[in-house]
Copies of this chain bind each other. A is one copy, B any other.
Amino acid sequence: MGTASKALSLLNYFTRSTPKIGLSDLARHSGYNKATVHRLLSELARHGFVEQIGSGREYRLGPAFLRLAALRENAVPMRELATQTLTELSTATGETAHMSLLNGDVLSSFSYTYSTAHGTMVMMEDAEVLDLHATSSGLAVLAHSSSQYVDDILSAPLIKRTPETETDPDVIRAMLPGIRATGVAISIGGYEQDVHSYAVPVFDANSACIGAVAVATPVARMTDILGEQIISELTTRTATLTRLLGGFPPDTFPTFLQANPPQIGG
């Protein structure tokens, strides 16, 4: 692994629940030498990617991300388009809709919308990291990724989030062709108990899978009829979103789920 990758991978240890990390802690978790981590953190700090809190205390993410996120959003106004689609989706289904994006090996929550139709609702967290093996979004992504990538992910230890979480790599691998064929991934209580969710993939201009859109409901509310309605709304609206983002489904993606292409000629 290159040195730059090591530095960047340190950033993955900062999460919503662990916003501040000490040098020794980070060395322990990452497995790198303390001196190495210190040097990498110093370089990250020089560019504003991390900053130290007191004098000689813990580190946290720096202000540079605000600047670069603004530039990214200026170049690719994804959030705007995504949120619009999600709003329609949660309104139409009466349930929570969310979109996740793949950042390297990490799938994270990007945007979500709630419906006011019911008293109970599946709640989401901003920038939350979603397990690829334990969420419907993760499975949708895996089903449309290279077998090389799938191997990488499934060869790492798979966390058992709930008693229902499937952690056997072979069982998960066996699920993927079915997901590819139907275009829809399902997870029932695999990530959080009592949460049922359907997810479909989103593709970029190279037909690479860049994330997923999902609708999540409390398991108690799920019925065959609701499920069919959700799948219908989810597949058509997400196909449109993919096109709005400038993406194209790959040839392997079920054609009956693709958005109508603009008529050329005619």
Contacts and interface: CB of A to CB of B under 8 A. Distances in A.
Interface of A: 2-9, 11, 14-16, 19-20, 39-40, 43-44, 46-49, 51-55, 60-76, 78-79, 101-104, 106, 108, 110, 126-127, 204-206, 210
Contact of A62 (B6, B67, B72): B72
A87 to B, nearest CB: 18
A206 B70 contact: no
Contacts of A65: 65, 68-69, 71-72
A17 to B, nearest CB: 10
Contact of A63 (B9, B51, B64, B72): B72
Main secondary structure of the interface of A (DSSP, over half): mixed
User: What number of copies of this chain does the assembly contain?
Assistant: 2
A192 to B, nearest CB: 20
Shortest 10 CB-CB contacts between residues of A and residues of B: A48-B103, A69-B69, A4-B7, A19-B75, A70-B127, A64-B103, A3-B3, A65-B69, A47-B104, A61-B72
Contacts of A19: 71, 74-75
A67 to B, nearest CB: 5
